[in-house]
Amino acid sequence: MILKNKIVAIKKFIINISVLLITCLFICLLLIPFEIILRLKQKDNERIMITSPPVIICSEEGRKIARGVKGEGTITVGNNPHIFYFETDTKGRRITPQPNMDNKELNCLFFGCSFTFGTGVNNNQTLPYYFGQLHPEIEVYNYGIPGASPQEIYLQSTQSEIFADISPQKPTLVIYTFISDHLRRLKGTLNLIFRAPKWVGCLPELEFINNRIINKGKFEETHPYLFSFANILNKSFAVKQLINYTQFDYPSPFINENYDFLYILLNETKNQLSTYFPDLDFVIFIYPEHCSTPATCPNLNYFMNLLNEKKDLRVISCEDKEMMGNYFRLKSSGKHIILDGHPSPECYQLFAEWISKELKSKKIIP
């Protein structure tokens, strides 16, 4: 009787496994036509960026800018190439041409991602460049890293040698450009991992424990199975389209807890930089698109209220109606972005004027 029951159980197990395998095979057969169609369709819209020589290096402390390189970048969407030129100095900063002037009065350090580095534009078309043209009395430095995360910006601040050639006696201004994707990069969310596992895998995972920031290692090391799975799924156009269409994401990037952690990282970045530059102001520039289209950055008001309550970090948001109107007009003309969606030179020039106006009104600069 016992033997008979075991045989029945084995048969049921084999049947269940067979049904599961047949179901998986059936789903795969259904997906294959969609995969083929999407590959043909998306080929005309796929974004590819190549820099020669490579401008990004993956290190134990996250991604860094290659030092002392000069080269060309090509962004291709479909059959449309967009070419830009870049050059970095020996400290890993993008070179920013500036007006010659002796005895400059202030330092200005720009931090952020590709929106600061200036992906898709030349050295003389970036946000730091246009700001420097408006203020020849200020020495400008571009510490932007394409695809950077808030945790990489914090880790930059701990590397004293990249600031060694900047005068600590002068008043120093730090400008960080915030975009909503920084919250996804902060937590290494599934949406981001499945879209670009190699890039996200190099981002460092930080935690705030006992009033200390702990570097746990790169995301691909702290979540190896997830990244192995993501690397497989990433090869499927159907899966990527499904994730993009549904905007499926986990953990949710726009919860209060993540904004709190972002604040902690930025405040700790300020504190670290203050050890090199005692007279320092830290300013956050909120990317205006998040004000014109709130759905691009849910729960932003929580972060704004937090900044206004704490008062440790200054903020430039979208309250200036004149500048916001200028942005709307530029956006309606379609000239606010380049081929792949990064800001255009005209947009960076507007942002530089916007930041300059706000800094003067807050009496941060004369």
Q: Is the dihedral of CA 269, 320, 349, 358 positive or negative?
A: negative
pLDDT of residue 139: 97
- pLDDT tens across the length of the chain (366 residues): 565 666 666 766 676 676 666 665 655 565 667 556 655 565 556 778 999 999 999 988 889 999 999 999 999 987 889 999 999 999 999 999 999 888 899 999 999 999 999 999 999 999 999 999 999 999 999 999 999 999 999 999 999 999 999 999 999 999 999 999 999 999 998 888 888 888 999 999 999 999 999 999 999 999 998 888 887 877 777 777 777 777 778 889 999 999 999 999 999 999 999 999 999 999 999 999 998 889 999 999 999 999 999 999 999 988 899 999 999 999 999 999 998 999 999 999 999 999 999 999 999 999
Asked if 144 contacts 114 with a C-beta cutoff of 8 angstroms, the reply is yes
Asked whether residue 332 is domain-assigned, the answer is yes
pTM of the model: 0.90
Q: Are 111 and 152 in contact (CB under 8 A)?
A: no
Is residue 145 one of the residues assigned to a domain? yes
Which residues are CB-contacts of 4 (< 8 A; sequence separation ≥ 6)? none
Other CB atoms within 10 Å distance of the CB of residue 195: 17
Total domain count, the chain: 1
What the block records as the tokens of 112 is 């952020």
Report if residue 185 sits inside a domain.
Answer: yes
* Alpha-carbon dihedral sign for residues 316, 267, 171, 109: negative
Residue with tokens 């700001």: 131
* Model pLDDT, residue 36: 63
CATH number at residue 123: 3.40.50.1110
Q: Are 142 and 206 in contact (CB under 8 A)?
A: no
Q: Which amino acid is residue 234, in one-letter code?
A: N
Q: Which of 193, 247, 239 is CA-nearest to residue 220?
A: 193
User: Residue 326: inside a domain, yes or no?
Assistant: yes
- Domain residue limits at 311: 106-189+251-361
CA distances (Å), origin 340, targets 71, 117, 176, 182? 20, 15, 22, 18
Q: What is the pLDDT of residue 16?
A: 65
3-class DSSP state of 137: coil
Domain membership of residue 244 (yes or no) is: no
Asked, for residue 194, whether it belongs to a domain, the answer is no
Which residue type does 11 have?
Answer: K
Has residue 205 been placed in a domain?
no
Name the residue type at position 208.
F
Query: What secondary structure letter does DSSP report for 250?
Result: S
Inside any domain, residue 330: yes
Q: What is the pLDDT of residue 235?
A: 76
Contact 191, 246 (CB under 8 A): no
